[in-house]
Amino acid sequence: MTNRVLRWSWLLVVLAAGTGCGRMNSVSGKVTFDDGAPVPGGLVVFESKDQEPAITARAEIQPDGSYRLGTHKPGDGAPAGVYRVLIAPPPPEDPRDRFAPPPFEERYTDFRTSGLEFEVKSGSNELPIQLKRNPKVKGRR
Protein backbone atom coordinates (compact mmCIF):
# COMPACT_ATOMS: atom_id res chain seq x y z
CA MET A 1 0.00 0.00 0.00
CA THR A 2 2.78 2.46 0.90
CA ASN A 3 4.65 1.82 -2.37
CA ARG A 4 1.50 2.55 -4.37
CA VAL A 5 0.98 5.86 -2.52
CA LEU A 6 4.62 6.81 -3.15
CA ARG A 7 4.31 5.99 -6.88
CA TRP A 8 1.12 8.08 -7.21
CA SER A 9 2.69 10.94 -5.29
CA TRP A 10 5.70 10.86 -7.58
CA LEU A 11 3.46 10.80 -10.66
CA LEU A 12 1.53 13.84 -9.41
CA VAL A 13 4.79 15.75 -8.84
CA VAL A 14 5.98 14.91 -12.37
CA LEU A 15 2.63 15.92 -13.90
CA ALA A 16 2.57 19.21 -11.99
CA ALA A 17 6.10 20.03 -13.14
CA GLY A 18 5.19 19.17 -16.72
CA THR A 19 2.22 21.54 -16.78
CA GLY A 20 4.34 24.50 -15.70
CA CYS A 21 2.70 24.78 -12.31
CA GLY A 22 4.65 27.40 -10.38
CA ARG A 23 6.98 28.29 -13.27
CA MET A 24 8.11 31.88 -12.99
CA ASN A 25 8.08 34.22 -15.97
CA SER A 26 9.98 37.49 -16.23
CA VAL A 27 7.70 40.55 -15.93
CA SER A 28 9.01 44.09 -16.29
CA GLY A 29 7.98 47.41 -17.71
CA LYS A 30 7.72 51.10 -17.08
CA VAL A 31 5.06 53.01 -15.15
CA THR A 32 4.39 56.38 -16.78
CA PHE A 33 1.86 59.15 -16.70
CA ASP A 34 -0.28 59.61 -19.82
CA ASP A 35 2.08 62.42 -20.94
CA GLY A 36 5.02 59.95 -20.99
CA ALA A 37 6.74 61.18 -17.81
CA PRO A 38 7.85 58.34 -15.48
CA VAL A 39 6.05 57.75 -12.21
CA PRO A 40 9.08 58.25 -9.94
CA GLY A 41 8.26 55.81 -7.16
CA GLY A 42 5.72 53.60 -5.45
CA LEU A 43 4.81 49.96 -5.73
CA VAL A 44 3.28 47.83 -8.50
CA VAL A 45 1.19 44.92 -7.15
CA PHE A 46 -0.20 42.11 -9.34
CA GLU A 47 -2.88 39.76 -7.93
CA SER A 48 -3.97 36.67 -9.85
CA LYS A 49 -7.62 36.52 -10.92
CA ASP A 50 -7.84 32.85 -11.85
CA GLN A 51 -6.10 31.07 -8.96
CA GLU A 52 -7.16 30.29 -5.41
CA PRO A 53 -5.57 31.29 -3.18
CA ALA A 54 -4.56 34.37 -5.12
CA ILE A 55 -0.92 34.79 -6.10
CA THR A 56 0.60 38.20 -5.44
CA ALA A 57 3.67 39.62 -7.15
CA ARG A 58 5.13 43.06 -6.48
CA ALA A 59 7.87 45.46 -7.50
CA GLU A 60 9.21 48.82 -6.43
CA ILE A 61 8.92 51.51 -9.08
CA GLN A 62 12.38 52.91 -9.75
CA PRO A 63 13.03 56.67 -10.27
CA ASP A 64 12.91 56.16 -14.06
CA GLY A 65 9.51 54.42 -13.77
CA SER A 66 10.85 50.92 -14.41
CA TYR A 67 9.80 47.85 -12.43
CA ARG A 68 10.60 44.10 -12.33
CA LEU A 69 8.05 41.85 -10.60
CA GLY A 70 8.86 39.30 -7.94
CA THR A 71 6.61 36.72 -6.32
CA HIS A 72 8.89 34.87 -3.88
CA LYS A 73 11.91 37.17 -4.04
CA PRO A 74 12.63 40.50 -5.79
CA GLY A 75 12.72 40.17 -9.57
CA ASP A 76 11.97 36.43 -9.78
CA GLY A 77 8.87 37.01 -11.94
CA ALA A 78 5.33 35.65 -11.75
CA PRO A 79 3.46 32.51 -12.82
CA ALA A 80 1.48 32.68 -16.07
CA GLY A 81 -2.10 33.90 -15.69
CA VAL A 82 -4.37 36.91 -15.69
CA TYR A 83 -3.71 39.54 -13.02
CA ARG A 84 -5.45 42.62 -11.76
CA VAL A 85 -3.09 45.40 -10.78
CA LEU A 86 -2.88 48.26 -8.30
CA ILE A 87 -0.30 50.98 -7.89
CA ALA A 88 0.61 52.15 -4.40
CA PRO A 89 1.95 55.70 -4.23
CA PRO A 90 5.45 56.46 -2.99
CA PRO A 91 5.74 57.44 0.67
CA PRO A 92 5.61 61.21 1.21
CA GLU A 93 8.89 63.03 1.62
CA ASP A 94 7.47 64.81 4.67
CA PRO A 95 5.78 62.42 7.17
CA ARG A 96 3.24 65.16 7.94
CA ASP A 97 1.93 64.71 4.37
CA ARG A 98 0.94 61.08 4.91
CA PHE A 99 -2.66 61.86 3.91
CA ALA A 100 -1.67 63.77 0.77
CA PRO A 101 -3.32 62.44 -2.41
CA PRO A 102 -1.20 60.28 -4.73
CA PRO A 103 0.30 61.89 -7.85
CA PHE A 104 -1.94 59.66 -10.02
CA GLU A 105 -5.72 59.14 -9.94
CA GLU A 106 -6.71 57.47 -6.67
CA ARG A 107 -8.61 54.70 -8.44
CA TYR A 108 -5.27 53.01 -9.26
CA THR A 109 -4.66 52.29 -5.55
CA ASP A 110 -7.35 49.55 -5.40
CA PHE A 111 -7.61 46.29 -7.37
CA ARG A 112 -11.38 46.74 -7.74
CA THR A 113 -11.22 50.22 -9.27
CA SER A 114 -7.85 50.46 -11.02
CA GLY A 115 -9.05 49.10 -14.35
CA LEU A 116 -5.56 47.65 -14.81
CA GLU A 117 -5.43 44.01 -15.90
CA PHE A 118 -2.61 42.12 -17.61
CA GLU A 119 -1.89 38.60 -18.78
CA VAL A 120 1.47 37.13 -17.86
CA LYS A 121 2.50 34.66 -20.54
CA SER A 122 5.18 32.00 -20.56
CA GLY A 123 8.63 33.53 -21.08
CA SER A 124 9.56 37.20 -20.91
CA ASN A 125 6.81 39.82 -20.51
CA GLU A 126 7.22 43.57 -21.10
CA LEU A 127 4.11 45.23 -19.60
CA PRO A 128 4.08 49.05 -19.66
CA ILE A 129 1.58 50.71 -17.31
CA GLN A 130 0.16 54.15 -18.08
CA LEU A 131 -1.60 56.23 -15.41
CA LYS A 132 -3.59 59.45 -15.46
CA ARG A 133 -2.35 62.24 -13.22
CA ASN A 134 -4.38 63.16 -10.15
CA PRO A 135 -6.21 66.42 -10.90
CA LYS A 136 -6.19 67.19 -7.13
CA VAL A 137 -2.39 67.46 -7.19
CA LYS A 138 -1.41 70.82 -8.63
CA GLY A 139 2.07 71.97 -9.49
CA ARG A 140 3.76 68.60 -8.92
CA ARG A 141 4.74 67.67 -12.43
CATH class entry, domain 23-131: mainly beta
pLDDT < 70 regions, the chain: 1-22, 139-141
d(CA 45, CA 110): 10
d(CA 86, CA 83): 10
d(CA 106, CA 110): 8
| Residues 85 and 111: beta-carbon distance below 8 Å | yes
What pLDDT does residue 25 have? Answer: 98
d(CA 123, CA 128): 16
For the chain, which residues make up each domain, given as ranges?
A: 23-131
What pLDDT does residue 139 have? Answer: 58
d(CA 45, CA 16): 26
Question: Tens digit of pLDDT for each residue in 37-60?
Answer: 999 899 999 999 988 899 999 999
| Residues 23 and 108: beta-carbon distance below 8 Å | no
